[in-house]
C-alpha cells in the first residue's frame, strides 16, 4: 500500500514539472469554494479519491492573490506540490516559509499550520494526502497576514534583482564589456572552466583578448537560493562560444555565487559544468 502511495506522489511530481514548464495547468480549474475554512477566492478540483487500491486523495487548489486557509491539522499528513505562483506556508510557532513553483512542502501529521497566497501573487498546488481527518481551527488574522508582506516582497525583489543581474552579465560577456564586468567580479572571484580554473584578472584578460568569446547564452532555467548575504544561482544554458578561433555550442549548468558587499552584489564564483544532453 505504501508503495502505491509513493508511486502516486512521484507520478504527480513529474506532472507538476511539466505543468511548470508549460506555465499553465493541464487540470480543470474546479469550482470556487465557499468561504467556510478560508478567506479570499479559492478554486478546488478533486483529481483522485482514495480507494481500497490507492489510499491517496489528490486535489488541485488555485488561490487568487490575498487568499489563505484557516489554521488546521491533518491526521495523516499532506504533501503540497507547488505548480505555479508564490505563496506562504507556516507551522505554529515557526517562521513563515515563502513557497513558489517547483517547491515540495511536507505537512506532518497533526502539526498545526496554514498556507495560502501572497497579497500580490496567486499560488497553485497539488495536495496529496492519505484518507484522513482534517481539523479546521481559527482563521489567520489580518494582523498576522499583513506582517508577512514585507519579507515576501523583499525576497521576491532580491530574486528578480539577481536574475536580472545574471542576465545582464551574459550580455556584458558577449559584448566583451570588461569595464562593467570588472565592477561585477569580486577581487577574489574564481572561474572554473573545462580547461582549468583561475582568478579575476585572467578571466578579464581572456574575455578582452577573445581567447574565449561568450558569443551568445540561451538561458533555459534559472534558480536562486539566497543565504544571508550570499546567493547561489543555477543557470541551465546553451552557450555559443568562440574558443581559440573555433565556434562551438555546448549545454552547461553554470553555478554562480554572489556576495553582497556595500549594498552591491558581486560575482564571487562562476563554474561551468558541461551537460551530457541539452
More confident residue, 99 or 79: 79
149-207 confidence digits (pLDDT tens):
556 556 667 888 899 999 999 999 999 999 999 999 999 999 999 889 999 999 999 99
Mean pLDDT, the chain, integer = 87
DSSP SS3 for 201: helix
DSSP SS3 for 96: coil
The secondary structure of 38-83, three-state, reads EECCEEEEEEECCCCCCCCEEEEEEECCCCEECCEEECCCEEEEEE
Q: Give the C-alpha separation, 72 to 78, whole Å.
A: 12
The C-alpha R_g of the chain, in whole angstroms, comes to 23
Q: Give the C-alpha separation, 29 to 31, whole Å.
A: 7
pLDDT at position 278, please?
A: 55
Distances (CA, A) of 258 to 81, 88, 197, 206, 230: 29, 26, 18, 21, 6
pLDDT at position 276, please?
A: 85
44-73 confidence digits (pLDDT tens):
999 998 888 888 899 999 999 999 999 999
pLDDT at position 16, please?
A: 39
3-state class percentages of the chain: helix first, strand second, coil last, to nearest 5: 25, 45, 30
Query: Hey, how many other C-beta atoms are within 10 angstroms of the C-beta on 230?
Result: 13
214: its cell numbers: 561568450
Which neighbouring-strand residues pair with 190? Answer: 199, 269
Q: Which residue reads 572552466 in cell numbers?
A: 193
DSSP track, 179-190: HHHHHHEEEEEE
Phi, psi (deg, nearest 5) at residue 18 = -65, -40
264-277 confidence digits (pLDDT tens):
899 999 999 999 87
Task: Residue 78: name the closest of 98, 50, 108 by CA.
Answer: 108
Q: Which residue reads 552547461 in cell numbers?
A: 252
More confident residue, 85 or 269: 269
Q: Give the C-alpha separation, 147 to 130, whole Å.
A: 33
pLDDT at position 2, please?
A: 45
pTM passes above 0.85: no
DSSP SS3 for 194: coil
pLDDT over 70 at 252, yes or no: yes
* Interstrand relation of 264-274 and 185-193 (parallel, antiparallel or unpaired): parallel
DSSP track, 127-193: EEE-S--EEE-PPPPHHHHHTTHHHHHHHHHHHHHHHHHHHHHHHHHHTT-HHHHHHHEEEEEEEEE
Amino acid at each position: 500500500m505504501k508503495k502505491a502511495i509513493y508511486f502516486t506522489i512521484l507520478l504527480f511530481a513529474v506532472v507538476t514539472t511539466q505543468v511548470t514548464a508549460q506555465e499553465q495547468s493541464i487540470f480543470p480549474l474546479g469550482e470556487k469554494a465557499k468561504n467556510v475554512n478560508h478567506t479570499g477566492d479559492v478554486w478546488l478540483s478533486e483529481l483522485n479519491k482514495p480507494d481500497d487500491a490507492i489510499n491517496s486523495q489528490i486535489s488541485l487548489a488555485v488561490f487568487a492573490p490575498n487568499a489563505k486557509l484557516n489554521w488546521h491539522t491533518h491526521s495523516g499528513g499532506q504533501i503540497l506540490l507547488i505548480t505555479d505562483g508564490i505563496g506562504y506556508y507556516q507551522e505554529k510557532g515557526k517562521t513563515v516559509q515563502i513557497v513558489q513553483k517547483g517547491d515540495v512542502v511536507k505537512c506532518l501529521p497533526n502539526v498545526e499550520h496554514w498556507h495560502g497566497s501572497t497579497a500580490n501573487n496567486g499560488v497553485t498546488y497539488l495536495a496529496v494526502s492519505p484518507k484522513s481527518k482534517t481539523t479546521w481551527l481559527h482563521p489567520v488574522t489580518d494582523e498576522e497576514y499583513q506582517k508577512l508582506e514585507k519579507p515576501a516582497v523583499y525576497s521576491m525583489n532580491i530574486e528578480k534583482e539577481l536574475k536580472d543581474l545574471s542576465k545582464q552579465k551574459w550580455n556584458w560577456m558577449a559584448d566583451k564589456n570588461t569595464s562593467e564586468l570588472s565592477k561585477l567580479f569580486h577581487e577574489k572571484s574564481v572561474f572554473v572552466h573545462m580547461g582549468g580554473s583561475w582568478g579575476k584578472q585572467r578571466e578579464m584578460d581572456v574575455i578582452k583578448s577573445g581567447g574565449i568569446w561568450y558569443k551568445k547564452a540561451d538561458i533555459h532555467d534559472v534558480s536562486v537560493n539566497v543565504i544571508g548575504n550570499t546567493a547561489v544561482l543555477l543557470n541551465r544554458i546553451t552557450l555559443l562560444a568562440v574558443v581559440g578561433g573555433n565556434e562551438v555550442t555546448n549545454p552547461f549548468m553554470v553555478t554562480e555565487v554572489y556576495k553582497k558587499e556595500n549594498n552591491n552584489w558581486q560575482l564571487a564564483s562562476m563554474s561551468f559544468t558541461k551537460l551530457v544532453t541539452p
